[in-house]
Amino acid sequence: MIELNVNGRPQAVDADPATPLLYVLRDHLALNGAKFGCGLGQCGACTVMIDGKAAFSCVTPISALPGRKITTVEGLGTADNPGPLQQAFIDEQAAQCGYCIAGMIMRAQALLEANPSPTDDDIRRHMMPNLCRCGTHMRIVRAVQRAARTMKNVKNGAGVNVTTK
Amino acid sequence: MNSTPSPGLLLSRREFLTTAGALVVGFSLGAVSDLFAQRPQEGAKLPGSLASTPMLDAWIRIGADGTITVCTGKGELGQGIKTALIQIASEELGVQPAAIKPVTADTRTTPDEGYTAGSNSMKDSGTAIQNAAAQVREILIGRAADKLTVSADKLVARDGFVVTDDGRRAAFGELVGDNLTHVRAQPQSKLKDPRTYALVGKPLARVDIPAKVSGGAAYVQDLRLPGMLHARVIRPPSYGARLRDVKVADAETLPGVIKIVRDGNFLAVVAEHEFQAVVAMRALATNASWEMRNRLPDPSDIYGTLRRLPADAIVDLDLNGQAAAPARRLEASYRRPYQMHGAIGPACAIALMKDGTLTVWTHSQGVYPLRKSIAELLHLPEDRIQCVHAEGAGCYGHNGADDAAADAALIARALPDRPVRVQWMREQEHAWEPYGPAMIADVKAALDADGNVVEWTYDVWSNAHSTRPGGAGNLLPAWHLETPFTQPVPKPIPLPEGGGDRNAIPLYKFPNARVVHHFIPSMPVRVSALRALGAYANIFAIESFIDELAAAASVDPVEFRLRHLDDPRARDVIVMAASRFGWANYPAGKGRGRGFAFARYKNLGAYLALAVDIEIDRESGRVKVLRAVAAVDSGQPVNPDGIRNQIEGGIVQSASWTLYEAVSFDTNAITSTDWGSYPIARFADVPGNVDVHVIERPGAPFLGTGEAAQGPTAAALANAIANATGARLRELPLSRTRVKATIGV
């Protein structure tokens, strides 16, 4: 058994330690957010956050993860109660097929936690590892900017910590 | 860990059963006869897909509890069709969008609308649902008129009730109780006046997006059925390779392995957990020995190979008119390589064989044709098979979806009573999907002394643009069985839709024009339908050559197009795109270029014109798209933001095809096997800005949108490069290397 911390909850997983995190999230923990895209760390569909940094879950074995905080898109909110980035993607209608979007949101979340006021160029540079085949890129950039504004407003206004880490 | 099946994806069948319970048999015309007193005209065609599925309750089902189910034979591919169809139905029924439960392509519950393809869903299904909803509304109003003893013209449908102006009302559910809507559609409907639309033509948030941003069960990949197993297929190393021998002992003893399935050259492994299946797949691949056969053509001479293959010449157009004498002749030849769909999520399917009945959950574009094909593959009657559409990653045409469904069906047959989920690996998706065919277009034209085109000759060489399964022979795993199915000789898709000749006939008025489609049946590389089919290469060629002619005539390219066009809607998109772009005031600069292009998709769908602004880095040859401005006329827009999203995406995707993409292969095998060996646009490569202007045509027929941008984008980029460098590139992709070679740095 390997102990993982996923979205703030401890999870004991019975899987080979060499198993990439992606398969454990999807197959053992029934979390849909991270997607299989390439298994090679080339497309970012599987992106999650590990200790606040964006990571390819498809090439990260679970043996490397005990004691580290794993966050998936499920950890940011729900369809009924979406987090700021999720809401921004809805508001900008920043999805076509949407298969890449959970990974995009997780990579963007890592950016906004490190840099709350990114420029469009910052966002494009940071999002380079993630592929979108539908061509939703410009909407994604807009959604990240919108979320950055929301997060700042909430922070300045009510003093609420909008990150869910 | 077991988990429950996704309610969202499985609900549709149960819903149908309960809903249908209220509507199964018999109907009385009752008040209906008043509404449709006039006999249907003899032979009058029903609108959209009502022509093939005429019963109203095949489309709109109202339960005794008032639930409204709208069925479509089309699938959600990420194009937003589900939301647009909800808008149409709720508009005509006078209900809120949230009141509609959509059910998409399912061979047990929805109409057979063939494939979700060709930008036809709005025209086919949108039109059917619009008319069916309007007719259901009028039937309900007619019944309410009887019940409330009020004249029908004093009644309106609102929020699930038929209401009088003095406050009385009757619920849809109580009105429909006696199977009132189980009737044939009429050719004419009392459609709402577009001026009164509350929903159609207004942006509506897509119903599928909240689940997609929050890890909901949104895709076939997310379905988890009780007792589900995971499978992987071990593909041959190249087309036609034969499995000489495989040692299964190593794989068989790996943890979680349940079964190894072998049938001829078809080899698969099933395991308890997904990664266990991946590990076992690798073990089997290591222990398999293959005999290589069927060499691929020399990639450096692929266009020569295509020209030498036998071809059927189909004359698409032969126009001989009066014209001024030719003063100048031009000719050019354009090329497009094999290009890939490149779904971000590889193909996936789940199949369950239980009590002699097979259920397949699939992201196929055509559940009915797939059912027919799997029936042939497994020698099962079609009525023992149900194919249910569940979303996959965007497909952009015929990719591995159907093949994965066939994989799952073959494996599930060997493991009855357990649902089997198959997902392709990235290298399998890249190497085995059917690509968009390589094409060659030769164009010749003559200008008169005033710079008008007086002669036009166009010859296009292409493989088939559809090898979709209409039978087992087009399913990849069927070729690998001990008793294989062979791929049937493909047939060209006839005009007006066209395949290799889609959009080969220019919309411009040329007095003399000849268009010939050289259809090449033999396919050295596996090919099929890629978004826009031949229109991508044909529009690239035609719209590039139009610019070459405009330059020869010393006429502005936008002006040159307008001179040769009568169609006012074509002229409108061109004028709008040019003016919103600021074509006339374009600030020319070093390394900068502007390019323009126009087409009406299939010459019968959406009109689209766009202008692009690019910058070329002389050192690297890199083309940076600074901005693109498009104008589109899709007829009556339903969800304008959906149209913009599709066109923005189409421009970005086509720019990626056009600037970067070509499938690579050697004489043994496909060598584009991942995103490193088949690079596509990333965030740094996409345009700085894309503006899409939607021209509204209230009440006009739906024209579809999904593929309209693909061809014009390619030509606009080629024209912009020519504008920036003075050199014309005629072979796709317009890569850095080619750009650099033309500017001679």
Nearest CA in chain A to B345: A37
Band (B43; pLDDT cuts 50, 70, 90) = low
- pLDDT value at residue B99: 97
* B388 contacts B360 by C-beta, under 8 angstroms: yes
Residues B75 and B105: their CA atoms lie apart, in Å, by 5
Q: Is residue A148 part of a domain?
A: yes
- pLDDT value at residue A154: 84
Interface test with B, best of A32, A59, A109, A125 (most B CBs within 10 A): A32
A91 plus A59 within the same structural domain? no
Number of domains chain A is built from: 2
Q: Is residue A86 part of a domain?
A: yes
pLDDT of B35 > 60? The answer is: no
Query: How close is the nearest chain B Cα to the Cα of A67, in Å?
Result: 23
A57 plus A20 within the same structural domain? yes
Q: Is residue A104 part of a domain?
A: yes
- pLDDT value at residue B281: 98
By the CB < 8 Å criterion, does B340 face chain A?
A: no
Task: Note whether A36 contacts B656, CB cutoff 8 Å.
Answer: no
Q: Which of B205, B648, B674 sits opposite A90 (nearest CB)?
A: B205
Residues 177-216 of B with CB under 8 A from A: 205-206, 208-216
Q: What percent of chain A has pLDDT over 70?
A: 95
A50 plus A107 within the same structural domain? no
Residue type (1 letter), A76 = L
Band (A161; pLDDT cuts 50, 70, 90) = very low
Domain with A134 in it? 76-157
Query: How close is the nearest chain A Cα to the Cα of B419, in Å?
Result: 14
C-alpha separations of B673 from B279, B339, B531, B670, B740 in Å = 19, 13, 21, 7, 26
By the CB < 8 Å criterion, does A19 face chain B?
A: yes
* B492 contacts B464 by C-beta, under 8 angstroms: yes
Helix segments in A16-134, DSSP class H: 21-23, 84-91, 101-114, 120-126
Q: What is the mean pLDDT of chain B?
A: 93
| Chosen domain end from A48, A75, A102 | A75
Band (B294; pLDDT cuts 50, 70, 90) = confident
In tens, the pLDDT along B614-668 reads 999 999 999 999 999 999 999 999 999 999 999 999 999 999 999 999 999 999 9
Band (B32; pLDDT cuts 50, 70, 90) = very low
Residues A55 and A48: their CA atoms lie apart, in Å, by 6
How buried is A68 (Cβ within 10 angstroms: 0-12 exposed, 13-18 middle, 19+ buried)? middle
- pLDDT value at residue B38: 37
Residues B437 and B474: their CA atoms lie apart, in Å, by 16
pLDDT of A157 > 70? The answer is: no
Task: Note whether B275 contacts A130, CB cutoff 8 Å.
Answer: no
| Chosen domain end from A75, A97, A116 | A75
Chain A residues inside the 8 Å CB shell of B656 = 135
Q: Which of B212, B425, B683 sits opposite A98 (nearest CB)?
A: B212
Query: How close is the nearest chain B Cα to the Cα of A5, in Å?
Result: 17
A92 plus A51 within the same structural domain? no
Query: How close is the nearest chain A Cα to the Cα of B684, in Å?
Result: 6
Q: Is residue A131 part of a domain?
A: yes
- pLDDT value at residue A32: 98
Residues B154 and B162: their CA atoms lie apart, in Å, by 10
A66 plus A85 within the same structural domain? no
Chain A residues inside the 8 Å CB shell of B641 = 93
Band (B223; pLDDT cuts 50, 70, 90) = very high
Chain B residues inside the 8 Å CB shell of A138 = 648, 652, 686-687, 689-690
Residue B530 per-residue DSSP state: B
Q: Which of A102, A124, A134 sits opposite B649 (nearest CB)?
A: A134
* B263 contacts B482 by C-beta, under 8 angstroms: yes
Task: Note whether A96 contacts B649, CB cutoff 8 Å.
Answer: yes
Q: Which of B224, B342, B683 sits opposite A124 (nearest CB)?
A: B683
Task: Note whether B394 contacts A72, CB cutoff 8 Å.
Answer: no
Residues B169 and B165: their CA atoms lie apart, in Å, by 9
Please compute the mean of the pLDDT values over residues B26-50 and round it to a whole number. 52
Nearest CA in chain A to B396: A134
Q: Is residue A162 part of a domain?
A: no
Helices B736-743 and B710-725 sit at what angle, rounded to 10 degrees?
30
Please compute the mean of the pLDDT values over residues A40-60 and round it to a whole number. 98
Band (B682; pLDDT cuts 50, 70, 90) = very high
- pLDDT value at residue B588: 83
Q: Is residue A165 part of a domain?
A: no
Query: How close is the nearest chain A Cα to the Cα of B279, in Å?
Result: 9
pLDDT of B531 > 90? The answer is: yes
By the CB < 8 Å criterion, does B474 face chain A?
A: no
Among residues B599, B572, B106, the alpha carbon closest in space to that of B359 is found at B106
In tens, the pLDDT along B575-589 reads 999 999 999 999 988
Q: Is residue A61 part of a domain?
A: yes
Residues B282 and B268: their CA atoms lie apart, in Å, by 11
- Antiparallel, parallel or unpaired: β B266-271 and B257-263: antiparallel
Residues B143 and B162: their CA atoms lie apart, in Å, by 9
pLDDT of A91 > 90? The answer is: yes
User: B99's torsion region: left (phi>0), alpha (psi -120 to 50) or beta?
Assistant: alpha
Q: Which of B216, B230, B653 sits opposite A133 (nearest CB)?
A: B653
Task: Note whether A127 contacts B210, CB cutoff 8 Å.
Answer: no
Helix segments in B237-313, DSSP class H: 249-252, 274-286, 302-308
Q: Which of A35, A127, A128 sits opposite B221 (nearest CB)?
A: A35
Interface test with B, best of A96, A105, A123, A145 (most B CBs within 10 A): A96
Task: Note whether A45 contacts B210, CB cutoff 8 Å.
Answer: no
Q: What is the mean pLDDT of chain A?
A: 94
Chain B residues inside the 8 Å CB shell of A27 = 1, 230, 273-275
- pLDDT value at residue B295: 86
Residues B357 and B141: their CA atoms lie apart, in Å, by 42
CATH number assigned to the domain covering B7-210:
3.30.365.10
| Chosen domain end from A33, A55, A75 | A75
Please compute the mean of the pLDDT values over residues B514-538 and round it to a whole number. 98
Contacts of B71 (CB under 8 A, 6+ apart): B16, B58, B59, B60, B61, B102, B103, B109, B110, B111
A89 plus A39 within the same structural domain? no
- pLDDT value at residue B745: 62
Instruction: Kindly report the CATH number assigned to the domain that includes residue A9.
Output: 3.10.20.30
Chain A residues inside the 8 Å CB shell of B79 = 96
Select B220-293+341-432's CATH number: 1.10.150.120, 3.30.365.10, 2.40.50.140, 3.30.870.10.
3.30.365.10
Among residues B438, B416, B273, B445, the alpha carbon closest in space to that of B358 is found at B416
By the CB < 8 Å criterion, does A119 face chain B?
A: no
* B382 contacts B349 by C-beta, under 8 angstroms: no
- pLDDT value at residue A158: 53
Please compute the mean of the pLDDT values over residues B98-106 and round it to a whole number. 97
By the CB < 8 Å criterion, does A96 face chain B?
A: yes
How many CB pairs below 8 A link A and B?
192
A83 plus A13 within the same structural domain? no
CATH number assigned to the domain covering B439-465+500-743:
3.30.365.10
Please compute the mean of the pLDDT values over residues B169-179 and round it to a whole number. 89
pLDDT of B16 > 50? The answer is: no
Task: Note whether B215 contacts A73, CB cutoff 8 Å.
Answer: yes
ipTM (interface predicted TM): 0.95
By the CB < 8 Å criterion, does B550 face chain A?
A: no
C-alpha separations of B146 from B155, B171, B675 in Å = 11, 14, 65
Chain B residues inside the 8 Å CB shell of A25 = none
A89 plus A142 within the same structural domain? yes
Instruction: Kindly report the CATH number assigned to the domain that includes residue A134.
Output: 1.10.150.120
Residue type (1 letter), B396 = Y
Output the six-digit token pair for B35.
């509404």
- pLDDT value at residue B744: 77
Chain B residues inside the 8 Å CB shell of A76 = 214
Query: How close is the nearest chain B Cα to the Cα of A31, in Å?
Result: 7
Interface test with B, best of A89, A133, A141 (most B CBs within 10 A): A133
Nearest CA in chain B to A78: B214
Residue B187 per-residue DSSP state: S
Chain A residues inside the 8 Å CB shell of B344 = 35, 37, 43, 45, 97, 99-100, 131-133
Please compute the mean of the pLDDT values over residues B562-568 and round it to a whole number. 98
Angle at A79 between CA A78 and CA A85, to 5 degrees: 70
Chain A residues inside the 8 Å CB shell of B3 = 30
A150 plus A80 within the same structural domain? yes
Task: Note whether A37 contacts B345, CB cutoff 8 Å.
Answer: yes
- pLDDT value at residue B1: 34
Parts of chain B belonging to CATH 3.30.365.10: 7-210, 220-293+341-432, 439-465+500-743
By the CB < 8 Å criterion, does B425 face chain A?
A: yes
Q: Is residue A124 part of a domain?
A: yes
Interface test with B, best of A2, A27, A48, A107 (most B CBs within 10 A): A27
Nearest CA in chain B to A21: B275
Task: Note whether A98 contacts B213, CB cutoff 8 Å.
Answer: yes
* B307 contacts A63 by C-beta, under 8 angstroms: no
A57 plus A112 within the same structural domain? no
Output the six-digit token pair for B409.
């069906």
Residues A89 and A132: their CA atoms lie apart, in Å, by 14
Task: Note whether B213 contacts A73, CB cutoff 8 Å.
Answer: yes
Task: Note whether B209 contacts A93, CB cutoff 8 Å.
Answer: yes
For A59-63, B32-36, B447-451, B724-728, which range has the lowest pLDDT when averaged over its residues?
A: B32-36
Please compute the mean of the pLDDT values over residues B253-276 and round it to a whole number. 98
Q: Which of B345, B649, B689 sits opposite A99 (nearest CB)?
A: B345
Residues B319 and B123: their CA atoms lie apart, in Å, by 30
Dihedral of alpha carbons B330, B331, B336, B337, sign:
negative
For A111-125, B178-192, B449-463, B599-613, which range has the lowest pLDDT when averaged over its residues?
A: B178-192
> Coil, helix or strand for B632?
strand
Task: Note whether B674 contacts A123, CB cutoff 8 Å.
Answer: no
Task: Note whether A96 contacts B80, CB cutoff 8 Å.
Answer: yes
User: B114's torsion region: left (phi>0), alpha (psi -120 to 50) or beta?
Assistant: left
